[in-house]
Amino acid sequence: MNRKNIYISIFFLLTLVGFSGCKDDMMTEITKLDVDRAFSPTGLTASVVNKTGVKLTWNAVNNAKTYTIEVFENADFSGTASKTIKDINFLQVPYTITGLSGDTQYSIRVKAVGDGVDDSKWISATVKTDSEQIFQTVNPAKLTSNSVVLNWPAGQTATTITLAPGNITHTVTAAEITAGEATITGLTGETLYTAKLLNGTKVRGTITFTTLLDLGGALPVYPTDNLATLIANANTGDVFALFPGTYTINADLTIPKSISIKGARPTDKPKIVGAAFKIRGAAGLELKDLVLDGTGSIAAQTIIYDEALPASTYGALSVKDSEIKNYVKGILYINVAALAESITYSGNLIHDISCTGAGFIDFRTGFAKTFLFENNTVYNIIEDGSRDLFRMDAASSFTSTTSVITIRTNTFYNALNRAAGRYLYIRIASNQINFTKNIIAESLNYYTNQAATTLTSVSGNNYYNAPNFTASATSGAKNDTGTFTTLNPGFAAPTTGNFTISESTLKANGIGDPRWR
């Protein structure tokens, strides 16, 4: 080898060694990165739990020993923090902050605290807590027609109580805070109130209650009275206030004039046994806070329109907050030329009805301008093999009137259970049907196979073990093609009539009878 080639070989060898040394130095710098402060956490999220708690999550930082949280009620983190939590180990993440106020906008920041380095920079998030609910259930013994006693945990601070309707404001005293109790007077009888407990502008509790019937204008009735005779001799507009006990009728109660029959004490409903209410003479009827037991009823249906009035309209029918059971042909029957101004069923428990020879709701030659069925629980409804839940047939002579039918926020459980059975057999000349936010469970029925049944709005319903409402193969069937769920409601004890639901999505979305949510 000549001298020139020897020099070139030595040069390349030295260059190779130099590159190898640089590579080792570079690897040392990457694996031993030194910084003078902790890295900031990332991925901070904040969510409300149990109304006034806030759950925080974030990603771990390699050089953090602990973490610090600060909570402020202003967006710029000025002043003193409302709450500071230090020395949080990442094993505690997600970390829930408790003891916050309800109905409050919070700004929250988190930093990492290292060992031998400065703290990291803050990362932040905002969240608003929910309104609190510290009101306790209203004690029925402390509720009258014109007053209510409202309770909350003793010692919990509040400034005012507001009630609507009426724009009533009550200033909470120091003594009431100590006792956790305030008495509100000047209310109106038989009125649904919403009360809010406030601390400044923040809501600490919300509750609804209905004042008792004001007997000032009502006629008191006791189980020893002859209810049938009193109704037969009634004047238009009379209100009968039935006191607790059992009223055994086993006969028709003819209603020729517009009257109201109500329980005097909603928490102890009077029981009317064996009565069929037969409406005549364009009368209206209001039934409220009653137990209607069909045992022994000679007519088999709860309410019957009993006189044809093709030239006039019946007054409003309203059945609310009652229990209806043990009738053998259904709860409403119209087989005469009768047009009702409105028919409302709201807040009722309806069960153990045998639809033998008629439908559950059965309009044959009449109907209502508006039909509202809401916030009811209907269960254990059986039929003879050919009945429908809601029937409004085409034989009506009122062809120029549209019937608006609204069926919403009800719970139906084992309310007809036949693969060829319909919930809606609506064939009147003009109809608009809104069927929304109901729970249907344990039913092989389907909606309808009638071209005349106009499903204007079907949405937000939940079907559990009720497959044919969404996918019936019956010829001409109309299925729910909107938004719906098929969740298990988690009923507490359906065999004993307790339909409290445990499924959180249904509760959050307001599906089914509100009493169970």
Give domain status of residue 407, yes or no: yes
Q: Percent helix, strand and coil across the chain, each rounded to 5? A: 10, 40, 45
- In the prediction, which pLDDT does 267 show? 85
Give domain status of residue 23, yes or no: no
What does residue 5 show for φ and ψ, rounded to 5 degrees? -65, -35
Q: Residue 417 to residues 96, 271, 433, 511: CA-CA distances in angstroms? A: 46, 29, 22, 21
Which band of pLDDT confidence, cut at 50, 70 and 90, is reported for residue 483? Answer: very high
- In the prediction, which pLDDT does 296 show? 83
Q: Which pairing describes strands 192-199 and 160-164: parallel, antiparallel, or unpaired?
A: antiparallel
Whether the CB-CB separation of 336 and 306 falls below 8 Å is answered with yes
Mind listing the pLDDT tens digit for each residue in 85-99? Answer: 999 999 999 999 998
Which band of pLDDT confidence, cut at 50, 70 and 90, is reported for residue 335? Answer: very high
Give domain status of residue 196, yes or no: yes
Q: Do both 64 and 205 map to the same domain? A: no
Q: Is the pLDDT of residue 120 over 80?
A: yes
State CA 84 to chain mean position distance. Answer: 37
Check which CATH number belongs to the domain holding 104 and give it. Answer: 2.60.40.10
Burial of 71 (0-12, 13-18, 19+ CB in 10 A): buried
Whether the CB-CB separation of 331 and 359 falls below 8 Å is answered with no
- In the prediction, which pLDDT does 33 show? 58
Mind listing the pLDDT tens digit for each residue in 504-515? Answer: 999 989 999 999
Q: Do both 104 and 154 map to the same domain? A: no
Q: Do both 171 and 118 map to the same domain? A: no
Give domain status of residue 512, yes or no: yes
Q: Do both 87 and 174 map to the same domain? A: no
Q: Which two tokens stand for residue 82?
A: 């409302």
Q: Do both 457 and 352 map to the same domain? A: yes
Of 98, 128, 158, the residue at which a domain comes to its end is 128
Q: Is the pLDDT of residue 16 over 60?
A: no
Whether the CB-CB separation of 453 and 424 falls below 8 Å is answered with yes
- In the prediction, which pLDDT does 34 show? 67
Q: Which amino acid is at 19?
A: F
Q: Which two tokens stand for residue 437?
A: 């936010």
Mind listing the pLDDT tens digit for each residue in 213-241? Answer: 888 889 999 999 999 999 999 999 999 99
Q: Do both 392 and 463 map to the same domain? A: yes
Q: Do both 509 and 416 map to the same domain? A: yes
264/288 Cα distance (integer angstroms): 9
Is the bond preceding 514 in cis, omega lying within 30 degrees of 0?
no
Residue 164: domain span: 140-210
- Threshold 0.85, pTM exceeds: no
Longest Cα–Cα distance of the chain, Å, equals 139
- In the prediction, which pLDDT does 39 show? 92
CA dihedral 471, 476, 477, 478 (to 10 degrees): 100
Q: Do both 318 and 446 map to the same domain? A: yes
Number of domains in the chain: 3
Mind listing the pLDDT tens digit for each residue in 276-286? Answer: 999 999 999 99
Give domain status of residue 379, yes or no: yes
Mind listing the pLDDT tens digit for each residue in 137-151? Answer: 999 889 988 999 999
Q: Is the pLDDT of residue 2 over 80?
A: no
Give domain status of residue 216, yes or no: no
Q: Do both 95 and 205 map to the same domain? A: no
Which band of pLDDT confidence, cut at 50, 70 and 90, is reported for residue 302? Answer: very high
Give domain status of residue 245, yes or no: no
Q: Do both 455 and 485 map to the same domain? A: yes
371/339 Cα distance (integer angstroms): 11
Mind listing the pLDDT tens digit for each residue in 361-373? Answer: 999 998 899 999 9
Q: Do both 124 and 145 map to the same domain? A: no
Of 210, 241, 256, the residue at which a domain comes to its end is 210
- In the prediction, which pLDDT does 21 show? 46
Give domain status of residue 500, yes or no: yes
Check which CATH number belongs to the domain holding 166 and give it. Answer: 2.60.40
Q: Is the pLDDT of residue 11 over 90?
A: no
Q: Do both 118 and 161 map to the same domain? A: no
Q: Is the pLDDT of residue 422 over 50?
A: yes
Q: Which two tokens stand for residue 327?
A: 């009738």
Of 210, 237, 267, the residue at which a domain comes to its end is 210
- In the prediction, which pLDDT does 401 show? 86
Which band of pLDDT confidence, cut at 50, 70 and 90, is reported for residue 404? Answer: very high
498/492 Cα distance (integer angstroms): 6
Q: Is the pLDDT of residue 27 over 70?
A: no
- For residue 311, the 8-state DSSP code is T
